[in-house]
Chains A and B, each alone.
Chain A
């Protein structure tokens, strides 16, 4: 079996992170917060970036031909219908536009010269739609983003490209915290952590010469929108999405003096929840913005951020140590194979008691585990 992967084929870790980015670790905090204001334009997928593991020649991926219009054949459906279900009654297309397009809620996009602009400048849509006026490329593009013709609300979010994942992984391996990497590359906290987990497994597979399914990855990525890595301003998604607390769904009547300010903290107290400034992921960005408003010098900002990060790490470590300490509180008996941690327990409250009938075969008792550690 030929080895499908050579570890030497991977980009060296020093080259992965661009120089200006690694020079100032706090740069993302000082940059304008582009993840808030810029909506990501759909990136043109270049297959070259997702092929860094592959050694085979690229096969032409099957393109989305869903809305490609073939006059007379109804997008090829008639062809295969003849083969597979010859007697079916297909609704006939009108104006040579595929039928399923007609109940698309948003009107079909027009070409630049499609409609005549009126005196005010608005483009008037022609009453009778003709296929040569429709911007079919735009239609296909729209279809890539919302795959169900009957539900325009569902929009596909692009997936991370292979290079994007590699960049995230290398940053975390350099020792940066997940939180900071997440803010740097504009990617949710959980996603960054997951990417690192998956990449670790991938690395193990490469080390043990287990073949990766690179073909699968490449072909699948060629079919769907991908957010490519942009060295200057990487962006995948918004990172400050605040989960709507169920307590805020109900109305709450509260008499407040008109002369007193009533801010977010007060509202949170009234609802009995934490304020949004704390609940929001990446709440530290608020602090950075405050420093910006106060015109704190850059060095000071960096120092404060570094201090905050250190404090955070210290707090996490302290918590972890406390847990570890609690876990190791009892007697420890070390044998050749096992380390038994003995904890005081009360008979009857823990463990399996002999003589008590098991209920796991009873009707209505759920046998599916609820968690796997």
Chain B
């Protein structure tokens, strides 16, 4: 998986991620215009744009092998109507029904039922992939993260560890992740805000602790030890307390502004000392279950919080079931997608050639 520049702000493209830059990019994204372009150019552009969103981490060859020209759709049936007539009225006469003029019937039909957006299903085979399903079930904040969770062996399918992100789910498959992992993946990190809220005494203690830790780090067992006695009792309690407090009050915008102001001061105060990004690992381990009380969703998660109909998710236990393959129905398709029907139609046509 090549590391691409995912969230470029200069030329924005929507991606499957809850990243803040992506949020902004989705908002200002404009669909590709078809004016003054040949049909081939239109198709190519549409394919480019849609592939940047759907399975951008897959090579074109891989996606080509997954593409299917069959598009799944469903029609809503009315049992009362089916019981009342056997369908022969619709084809009576010369094959197009009697009594009702065709135009009237067409108009009535159009008013009542919007067409099925089949083109939206062009990338439906990707939805079967395990990593995509994990992202759709809101167990990860981006498809790449979901893929990482799979590859790291955090995801189980029907209770069996499935380290292949490309596993194609079958209808009825149940996939699951440890809720702790999910909470970490889609939650807010505490960041270095903990540090800025500490008292001077605690700060200096912490600095000493980290420095000793960095010295002792060469002994490989040091970081694994749970009883790292690097902090005196008060400081330890303060750190623990602040850790809990900050992660539960981050939703307040005013306090967060203040904190950021403090952060700058704090950095100025402790000249020369830079808080290492892995500073938590120098402290005694934080009791994991505290996450259950203090969990906060990731920023901008609300914009992406929806679960498609082909999944049934239970977040209490972080298990989900892939019910069936996604389908399109009158007026809507089940695949989350920022591109309109025209663009999708062009992209579908691109992949349809030579087939």
Contact = CB atoms under 8 A, between A and B. Distances in A.
A201 interface: yes
A293 B319 contact: no
B160 A258 contact: no
B321 interface: yes
A149 B20 CA distance: 17
A72 interface: no
A194 B292 contact: no
B323 interface: yes
Contacts of A287: 83
Nearest to A198: B314
Contact of B340 (A151, A162, A240, A277): A151
Nearest to B289: A1
A190 to B, nearest CB: 4
A191 B311 CA distance: 8
Contacts of B339: 150-151
A213 B335 contact: no
B355 to A, nearest CB: 15
Contact of A153 (B29, B84, B164, B340): B340
A369 interface: yes
Contacts of A242: 74-77
A153 B341 contact: yes
A8 interface: no
Contacts of B138: 220
Given A100-B28, A258-B94, A197 B316 contact: no
A289 B182 contact: no
Contacts of A195: 312, 314
B79 A289 contact: yes
A145 to B, nearest CB: 9
B340 to A, nearest CB: 5
B126 to A, nearest CB: 15
A99 B28 contact: yes
B31 A150 contact: yes
A274 interface: no
Contact of A290 (B29, B83, B289): B83
A77 B24 contact: yes
A191 B167 contact: no
B78 interface: yes
B259 interface: no
A224 B341 CA distance: 25
Interface in A273-326: 276-277, 280, 282, 285-290, 292-293
Contacts of B170: 370-371
Interface in B298-316: 301-309, 312-316
Classify chain A: how many residues form its interface, as a range: 35 or more
Interface string A88-132: 101100000001100101000000000000000000000000000
A155 to B, nearest CB: 5
A264 B87 contact: yes
Given A4-B292, A223-B297, A157 B74 contact: no
A103 B82 contact: no
Contacts of B30: 103, 150
A276 B174 contact: no
Interface string A209-238: 001111111011101110000000000011
Interface string B13-57: 000000011001011111100000000000000000000000000
B284 interface: no
Given A156-B306, A289-B79, A211 B88 contact: no
A370 to B, nearest CB: 7
B208 interface: no
A213 B303 contact: no
A215 B315 CA distance: 9
A147 B87 contact: no
Given A36-B79, A265-B86, A289-B79, A153 B331 contact: yes
Q: Which interface residue of A153, A240, A263 has the most chain B CB atoms within 10 A?
A: A153
Interface string B141-183: 0000000000000000110101010111011111000010011
A160 B307 CA distance: 10
A219 B309 contact: no
Contact of A286 (B79, B95, B316, B331): B79
A263 B76 CA distance: 19
Contacts of A224: 305-307
A36 B75 contact: no
A4 to B, nearest CB: 6
A214 B316 contact: yes
Contact of A263 (B83, B86, B316): B86
Contact of B74 (A154, A243, A282): A243
B324 interface: yes
A9 to B, nearest CB: 13
A202 B174 CA distance: 14
B227 interface: no
Interface in B305-355: 305-309, 312-321, 323-324, 327, 329, 331-341
A142 to B, nearest CB: 14
Nearest to B164: A368
Contacts of B91: 256, 262, 267
Contacts of A60: 251
B60 to A, nearest CB: 17
B225 interface: no
Nearest to A211: B292
Contacts of A216: 179, 182-183, 295, 315-316, 318
A370 B170 CA distance: 8
B317 A369 contact: no
B317 A267 contact: no
B79 A62 contact: no
A37 B287 CA distance: 53
Given A241-B75, A263-B86, A368-B166, A213 B292 contact: yes
Contacts of A84: 20
Contacts of A147: 303-304, 306, 336
B79 A262 contact: no
24 contacts: A1-B287, A105-B340, A151-B120, A153-B332, A155-B332, A198-B320, A202-B316, A211-B179, A213-B317, A215-B293, A216-B318, A225-B306, A240-B76, A241-B74, A264-B87, A265-B86, A267-B87, A277-B82, A286-B82, A293-B84, A367-B164, A370-B168, A370-B170, A372-B160
Given A81-B24, A286-B79, 17 more contacts: A64-B302, A65-B302, A77-B24, A147-B303, A150-B31, A154-B338, A190-B172, A191-B312, A223-B301, A224-B305, A241-B329, A261-B86, A280-B79, A289-B80, A289-B83, A292-B83, A367-B164
